[in-house]
Structure 1
Amino acid sequence: MEVIFLLIAISLVLAVTFLILFFKAMKGGQFDDDYTPSVRILFDNHKKTTKKDQPTKKPKSYE
């Protein structure tokens, strides 16, 4: 039974350690994306058209 308590304690210490290391890496900019902004100009940007952007049709006159 003492082994289970020991394993739970060790797993909690490891989990807290990994959580602290993760937050330290986040704060240090480890996961910042430096590559994508430099190649963003190479991609085509397709603007989605809405009803505002589409030209309106004039109604037909029946004269």
Structure 2
Amino acid sequence: MNIIYMLLAISVFVALVFFAAFIYSVKKGQYDDMYTPSVRMLFEDELVDEKKETSKSTNETTPRKKRLTK
């Protein structure tokens, strides 16, 4: 039974060490994304159908496209 308590204590200690390492790396900026903002302008925006508007010159309904902004 003593071995279970010892293994439980060791596992909690190891978990706390990994948690502390994670918090330290987040505060130091390890997970900051430096690549995506620089290439975001190269990706095409998705187009979304908006309301269909009638054309004044031909009386046809044409779908209007709108760019998504992030």
TM-score under structure 2 length normalisation: 0.67
| Percent identity of equivalent pairs | 44
**Structure 2 gap segments, 5+ residues each:** 60-70
The CA distance in 1 between the partners of 2:54 and 2:23, in whole Å, is 53
Residue 17 of structure 1 aligns with an amino acid whose one-letter code is V
Q: CA-atom RMSD, angstroms?
A: 1.9
Paired residues in the alignment total 57
**Structure 1 gap segments, 5+ residues each:** none
Within-5 A mapping of 1:1-63: 1-51=1-51, 54-56=52-54
Bigger radius of gyration: 1
Larger RCO, structure (CA 8 Å, separation 6 or more):
2
Q: Which has the higher strand share?
A: 2
